[in-house]
Amino acid sequence: MTSYKVLDVNDDLPIRTKGKVHSGKVRSVYWLTDEDSARLIADKGYKVPQGTELAIMVISDRISAFDCIWQGENGLNGVPGKGIALNSVAAHWFSLFDNAGLAGNHIVDIPHPYVWIVRKASTVKVEAIARQYITGSMWRDYAKGVRNFCGIDLPEGLNANQKLDNVLITPSTKGIIEGVAEIPPVDDVNITRDNITNNLAVFNFNSVDDVSKYEQLLVEGFNVISAELSKLDQIFVDTKFEFGYVEDIDGSQNLIYIDEVGTPDSSRIWDGAAYRDGKIVENSKEGFRQLLISNVPDSDVLLNKDRMGEREQLAKDYILPESVMLEVSNTYVGIASKIIGNEITIPADPRQEVIDILDTDYGLIVK
């Protein structure tokens, strides 16, 4: 067995909750009881209204790509240090957003590098995607002759991986949108600004002004991260943000950043020196995606949504060498350490550390 302990299962921690644990591909959310939420708001002095629902959000070291979870040999069912890398990077960017006077975010406390305490938000049903380079799926479609992306026309003559004149906003659906004729009822489908403004309630926006607000916050956040990464000779290629509404202490409804921002999971980050030399060196999950495409027996299974059943079976059966998982670990931990300006230390036993802190300092563990 490997000497690393990864936090691969993160939805069975003995945390006192209200209702079921919601587990995504990487994060699990434990909604706290009303009593625990109220107690923590009072005891810790969180700057949220009394009555705000709080949750413990635990990130795992699992790695997801092409909508599937992938595993390594020797029981290494996650990437060492990946969770702490993602959380540290997102918290770093959120802090810079605060310093720049942008919108707030959903984090109220960080008990442990694998854990956030977050406030409940009413989620906007838009995956807010910004791009400054033509690459990935956009390039593949452009090469096939597509020139309109999410209602935006691109000029002729662009090349793969070329920098665009402006940051493009190319939103897609978050979850399945039903009842809108021009939007197929499937998750993660490209949409236009008009789709959103013509169906505000469907996308959970309060007003057209708030659609403009999310676009402003997306571009402003993108530019903050891009400027900081450029100091490290790293290129911020594209990214996904998410937004939601919260009630603040003064009773106002505000649009804030939720989920994660600017992480190697939600963004493409390229090495600047390599790019100037005509090469693409990925410092994000895209490198792992390309590795899978190069190594699986039939890469069309990964790229063709009509073969999802085969893809899920492939992910269950395909065991990656431990050396690959550690190489991916080096990518995540390496770029995260650069961004936050400190070396990230991989915990010896992240699961037990999380339980101990949530017990001793927060009184949330069921005995």
Report yes or no: 62 and 329 within 8 Å, Cβ to Cβ.
no
pLDDT tens, 116-161?
999 999 999 999 999 999 999 899 999 999 999 999 999 999 999 9
247 part of a folded domain: yes
Spell out the alpha helix ranges (H) of the chain.
34-44, 82-99, 136-143, 193-197, 208-231, 272-276, 285-295, 300-303, 308-317, 322-340, 350-360
65 part of a folded domain: no
99 part of a folded domain: no
Tell me the C-alpha distance between 125 and 335, whole Å: 30
Tokens of 300: 């069309």
Q: What is the CATH number of the domain that holds 235?
A: 3.30.470.20
3-state helix, strand, coil in the chain (%, to 5): 35, 25, 40
> Which residues lie below 8 Å from residue 129, measured CB to CB, with a gap of 6+?
169, 170, 171, 172, 238, 239, 240, 241
> Which residues lie below 8 Å from residue 363, measured CB to CB, with a gap of 6+?
36, 39
Tokens of 43: 């005891």
Query: H or E stretch including 152?
Result: strand 152-153
Number of independent structural domains in the chain: 1
291 part of a folded domain: no
User: Amino acid identity, residue 1?
Assistant: M
116 part of a folded domain: no
60 part of a folded domain: no
pTM here is 0.95
Kindly state the DSSP code that residue 131 receives in the 8-state scheme: E
Tell me the C-alpha distance between 224 and 140, whole Å: 28
User: Amino acid identity, residue 142?
Assistant: Y
Domain assignment of residue 153, given as a range: 124-252+261-276
Question: How remote is the C-alpha of 158 from its chain's centroid?
Answer: 28
Question: Which of these, 325, 232, 329, 225, lies nearest to 271 by C-alpha position?
Answer: 232
232 part of a folded domain: yes
The one-digit pLDDT tens for each residue of the chain (367 residues) are 567 889 999 999 999 999 999 999 999 999 999 999 999 999 999 999 999 999 999 999 999 999 999 999 999 999 999 999 999 999 999 999 999 999 999 999 999 999 999 999 999 999 999 999 999 989 999 999 999 999 999 999 999 999 999 999 999 999 999 989 899 998 889 999 999 999 999 999 999 999 999 999 999 999 999 999 999 999 999 999 999 999 999 989 999 999 999 999 999 999 999 999 999 999 999 999 999 999 899 999 998 989 999 999 999 999 999 999 999 999 999 999 999 999 999 988 999 999 999 999 999 999 8
